[in-house]
């Protein structure tokens, strides 16, 4: 007589799920440890770079202090306030140098070459900030005044001719004879002689 075999699973229910969970937790722990080690290495490297930069900055600051001290002993002021005041001084020196190089003789020569002989100039004034010249005078007729404007525009030293005032007047001494009184401004290039080789000629 044969006795039947009975197979019974004595393991607790869900044991396979527990094993899988343990494996997942182990892998997660290993990954977290690896990530932590990576962050630690990066942080340590960053701290080393920061320390090196701080050391370089301290070296530069020490060198600057030594330079300022040596300059002060030599009578030079290299303080922050003194350095900030340098640009306006440079601009002022440049303006002075340009004004020193300005020639009234050359200006009058250029005006004489550009102004027709039948034009009378009563006054010439110069705005040194803008190199603008104010001419006041009289012309025998309106065509003569137009010829003056045309001659100024043709000359290499003058540009931006602007007729600001114009009127026709009759003198008491000569009844019936009128003339044009004018006031005009024009920009003057005092360095035109040095740069005329590189400038294009004006169209007539």
Residue by residue, pLDDT tens for the chain (204 residues) are 555 555 555 555 556 666 677 777 888 888 888 888 888 888 788 878 888 888 888 888 887 778 777 777 776 666 666 666 555 555 544 554 555 556 778 888 898 899 988 888 888 888 877 788 899 988 988 889 999 999 999 998 899 999 988 888 776 665 667 788 999 999 988 776 655 544 444 444
Angle between helices 142-154 and 104-114 (to 10 degrees): 130
Domain containing 36 equals 23-84
* 143 and 191, same domain (yes or no): yes
- Determine, yes or no, domain membership for 177: yes
Predicted local confidence at residue 96, as pLDDT: 47
* 146 and 65, same domain (yes or no): no
Number of structural domains the chain divides into: 2
* 80 and 106, same domain (yes or no): no
* 120 and 185, same domain (yes or no): yes
Residue 174 and residue 134 in contact, taking contact as beta carbons nearer than 8 Å: no
* 78 and 130, same domain (yes or no): no
- Determine, yes or no, domain membership for 18: no
* 59 and 133, same domain (yes or no): no
Predicted local confidence at residue 32, as pLDDT: 82
* 70 and 113, same domain (yes or no): no
Residue 191 and residue 100 in contact, taking contact as beta carbons nearer than 8 Å: no
Predicted local confidence at residue 11, as pLDDT: 52
- Determine, yes or no, domain membership for 49: yes
Residue 188 and residue 132 in contact, taking contact as beta carbons nearer than 8 Å: yes
* 110 and 160, same domain (yes or no): yes
* 28 and 80, same domain (yes or no): yes
Evaluate if pTM is beyond 0.85: no
Predicted local confidence at residue 77, as pLDDT: 66
User: Tokens 């550009």 sit at which residue?
Assistant: 114
């Amino acid at each position: 007589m044969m006795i039947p075999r009975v197979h019974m699973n004595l393991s607790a229910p869900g044991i396979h799920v527990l094993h899988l969970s343990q494996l997942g937790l182990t892998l997660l722990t290993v990954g977290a440890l690896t990530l932590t080690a990576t962050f630690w290495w990066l942080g340590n490297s960053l701290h080393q770079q920061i320390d090196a930069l701080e050391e370089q900055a301290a070296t530069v600051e020490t060198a600057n202090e030594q330079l300022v001290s040596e300059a002060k002993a030599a009578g030079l002021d290299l303080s922050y306030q003194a350095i900030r005041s340098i640009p306006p001084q440079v601009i002022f020196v440049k303006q002075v140098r340009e004004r020193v190089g300005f020639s009234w003789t050359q200006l009058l020569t250029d005006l004489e070459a550009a102004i027709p002989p039948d034009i009378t100039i009563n006054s010439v004034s110069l705005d040194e900030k803008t190199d603008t010249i104010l001419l006041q005078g009289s012309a025998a007729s309106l065509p003569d005044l137009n010829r003056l404007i045309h001659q100024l525009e043709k000359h290499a030293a003058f540009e931006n001719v602007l007729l600001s005032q114009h009127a026709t007047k009759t003198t008491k001494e000569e009844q019936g004879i009128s003339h044009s009184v004018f006031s005009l401004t024009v920009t003057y290039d005092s360095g035109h002689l040095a740069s005329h080789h590189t400038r294009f000629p004006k169209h007539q």
